[in-house]
Amino acid sequence: MTWRHGRWQDDRPAERLGALVGCDRDRARSVLRGTFAAIGRVASVPVAARVSLGLPPEAASILVGQAQQHGGVRDEASFLGHVRSCVDDTVSRREVRAAIRVIEDMCSASDFERLRAFLSVELDPLTEEADATRTGD
Protein backbone atom coordinates (compact mmCIF):
# COMPACT_ATOMS: atom_id res chain seq x y z
CA MET A 1 0.00 0.00 0.00
CA THR A 2 1.15 3.53 -0.84
CA TRP A 3 -0.19 6.86 0.44
CA ARG A 4 -1.40 8.79 -2.63
CA HIS A 5 -3.86 11.64 -3.12
CA GLY A 6 -4.69 11.72 0.58
CA ARG A 7 -5.48 8.02 0.98
CA TRP A 8 -3.95 4.58 0.84
CA GLN A 9 -3.70 3.00 -2.61
CA ASP A 10 -3.38 -0.68 -3.36
CA ASP A 11 -0.11 -1.30 -5.27
CA ARG A 12 -0.93 -4.89 -6.24
CA PRO A 13 -2.20 -4.03 -9.75
CA ALA A 14 1.00 -2.09 -10.53
CA GLU A 15 3.16 -4.82 -9.02
CA ARG A 16 1.36 -7.49 -11.07
CA LEU A 17 1.73 -5.53 -14.31
CA GLY A 18 5.41 -4.92 -13.53
CA ALA A 19 5.92 -8.66 -13.10
CA LEU A 20 4.07 -9.44 -16.35
CA VAL A 21 6.03 -7.05 -18.56
CA GLY A 22 9.25 -6.54 -16.59
CA CYS A 23 8.99 -2.89 -15.60
CA ASP A 24 9.17 -0.99 -12.32
CA ARG A 25 6.12 -0.08 -10.25
CA ASP A 26 6.06 3.59 -11.32
CA ARG A 27 6.10 2.68 -15.01
CA ALA A 28 3.43 0.03 -14.43
CA ARG A 29 1.26 2.52 -12.54
CA SER A 30 1.58 5.01 -15.42
CA VAL A 31 0.63 2.39 -18.01
CA LEU A 32 -2.36 1.32 -15.90
CA ARG A 33 -3.53 4.93 -15.54
CA GLY A 34 -3.15 5.55 -19.27
CA THR A 35 -5.03 2.35 -20.06
CA PHE A 36 -7.80 3.35 -17.64
CA ALA A 37 -7.99 6.74 -19.36
CA ALA A 38 -8.29 5.09 -22.78
CA ILE A 39 -10.96 2.71 -21.48
CA GLY A 40 -12.90 5.74 -20.29
CA ARG A 41 -12.76 7.12 -23.84
CA VAL A 42 -14.07 4.00 -25.62
CA ALA A 43 -16.90 5.39 -27.74
CA SER A 44 -18.26 2.34 -29.49
CA VAL A 45 -19.50 -1.08 -28.46
CA PRO A 46 -17.23 -2.95 -30.96
CA VAL A 47 -14.13 -1.29 -29.49
CA ALA A 48 -15.38 -2.01 -25.98
CA ALA A 49 -15.85 -5.65 -27.00
CA ARG A 50 -12.31 -5.78 -28.41
CA VAL A 51 -10.92 -4.18 -25.28
CA SER A 52 -12.90 -6.89 -23.44
CA LEU A 53 -13.13 -5.43 -19.98
CA GLY A 54 -15.23 -8.01 -18.24
CA LEU A 55 -17.29 -5.21 -16.68
CA PRO A 56 -20.96 -5.66 -15.86
CA PRO A 57 -23.15 -4.56 -18.82
CA GLU A 58 -24.40 -1.45 -17.01
CA ALA A 59 -20.83 -0.36 -16.28
CA ALA A 60 -19.75 -0.87 -19.89
CA SER A 61 -22.71 1.16 -21.12
CA ILE A 62 -21.84 3.99 -18.70
CA LEU A 63 -18.27 4.10 -20.06
CA VAL A 64 -19.43 4.02 -23.70
CA GLY A 65 -22.04 6.74 -23.01
CA GLN A 66 -19.49 9.01 -21.34
CA ALA A 67 -17.00 8.50 -24.14
CA GLN A 68 -19.54 9.31 -26.85
CA GLN A 69 -20.23 12.63 -25.14
CA HIS A 70 -16.53 13.53 -25.20
CA GLY A 71 -15.58 12.23 -28.66
CA GLY A 72 -13.75 9.09 -27.65
CA VAL A 73 -11.60 6.24 -28.84
CA ARG A 74 -13.10 4.56 -31.90
CA ASP A 75 -10.65 1.79 -32.83
CA GLU A 76 -7.72 -0.20 -31.51
CA ALA A 77 -5.07 2.14 -32.95
CA SER A 78 -6.65 5.21 -31.34
CA PHE A 79 -6.89 3.26 -28.06
CA LEU A 80 -3.11 2.67 -28.08
CA GLY A 81 -2.57 6.27 -29.17
CA HIS A 82 -4.59 7.55 -26.24
CA VAL A 83 -2.58 5.43 -23.79
CA ARG A 84 0.63 6.80 -25.32
CA SER A 85 -0.64 10.38 -25.05
CA CYS A 86 -1.23 9.82 -21.32
CA VAL A 87 2.09 8.09 -20.63
CA ASP A 88 4.71 8.39 -23.38
CA ASP A 89 5.40 7.19 -26.93
CA THR A 90 7.31 4.12 -25.78
CA VAL A 91 4.23 2.30 -24.43
CA SER A 92 3.98 -1.01 -26.26
CA ARG A 93 0.93 -3.03 -27.29
CA ARG A 94 2.25 -5.78 -24.99
CA GLU A 95 2.18 -3.42 -21.99
CA VAL A 96 -1.35 -2.27 -22.83
CA ARG A 97 -2.61 -5.84 -23.31
CA ALA A 98 -1.08 -6.85 -19.97
CA ALA A 99 -2.63 -3.78 -18.31
CA ILE A 100 -6.03 -4.79 -19.68
CA ARG A 101 -5.56 -8.29 -18.19
CA VAL A 102 -4.75 -6.76 -14.80
CA ILE A 103 -7.82 -4.51 -15.06
CA GLU A 104 -10.01 -7.49 -16.00
CA ASP A 105 -8.76 -9.29 -12.89
CA MET A 106 -9.55 -6.24 -10.76
CA CYS A 107 -13.07 -6.13 -12.19
CA SER A 108 -13.75 -9.77 -11.48
CA ALA A 109 -12.24 -9.56 -8.00
CA SER A 110 -14.02 -6.40 -6.90
CA ASP A 111 -17.17 -4.44 -7.50
CA PHE A 112 -17.48 -1.70 -10.09
CA GLU A 113 -17.86 1.08 -7.51
CA ARG A 114 -14.43 0.28 -6.06
CA LEU A 115 -12.94 0.43 -9.55
CA ARG A 116 -14.73 3.71 -10.28
CA ALA A 117 -13.33 5.18 -7.03
CA PHE A 118 -9.83 4.12 -8.08
CA LEU A 119 -10.39 5.64 -11.54
CA SER A 120 -11.57 8.98 -10.19
CA VAL A 121 -8.58 9.36 -7.87
CA GLU A 122 -5.99 8.21 -10.38
CA LEU A 123 -7.29 9.64 -13.64
CA ASP A 124 -8.65 13.10 -13.13
CA PRO A 125 -5.31 14.97 -13.00
CA LEU A 126 -3.73 12.71 -15.62
CA THR A 127 -6.61 13.02 -18.11
CA GLU A 128 -6.84 16.78 -17.65
CA GLU A 129 -3.10 17.12 -18.35
CA ALA A 130 -3.34 14.96 -21.47
CA ASP A 131 -6.42 16.86 -22.71
CA ALA A 132 -4.70 20.22 -22.11
CA THR A 133 -1.62 19.04 -24.02
CA ARG A 134 -3.69 17.93 -27.01
CA THR A 135 -5.92 21.01 -27.16
CA GLY A 136 -3.19 23.53 -26.35
CA ASP A 137 -4.97 24.81 -23.22
Give a yes or no: residue 112 inside a domain.
Answer: yes
Residue of 39, 19, 24, 4 whose CA lies nearest to 122: 4
Give a yes or no: residue 132 inside a domain.
Answer: no
Alpha-carbon span 11 to 26, nearest angstrom: 10
Relative orientation angle of helices 93-109 and 112-135, to the nearest 10 degrees: 150
pTM over 0.75: no
- Count the neighbouring beta carbons within 10 Å of the beta carbon of residue 118: 19
Chain segment 71-114, per-residue pLDDT in tens: 666 667 777 888 888 889 999 988 988 887 787 777 655 555 55
Q: Give residue 67's pLDDT.
A: 61
DSSP classification of residue 7: E
Q: Residue 22: pLDDT band by 50, 70, 90 thresholds?
A: very high
Q: Give residue 21's pLDDT.
A: 93
51 vs 130, residue with greater confidence: 51
127 vs 44, residue with greater confidence: 44
Give a yes or no: residue 95 inside a domain.
Answer: yes
Give a yes or no: residue 78 inside a domain.
Answer: yes
Q: What are phi and psi of 92, to 5 degrees?
A: -95, 160
Give a yes or no: residue 135 inside a domain.
Answer: no
Number of independent structural domains in the chain: 1
Give a yes or no: residue 133 inside a domain.
Answer: no
Q: Domain residues for 48?
A: 14-125
User: Is residue 32 within 8 Å of 99, Cβ to Cβ?
Assistant: yes
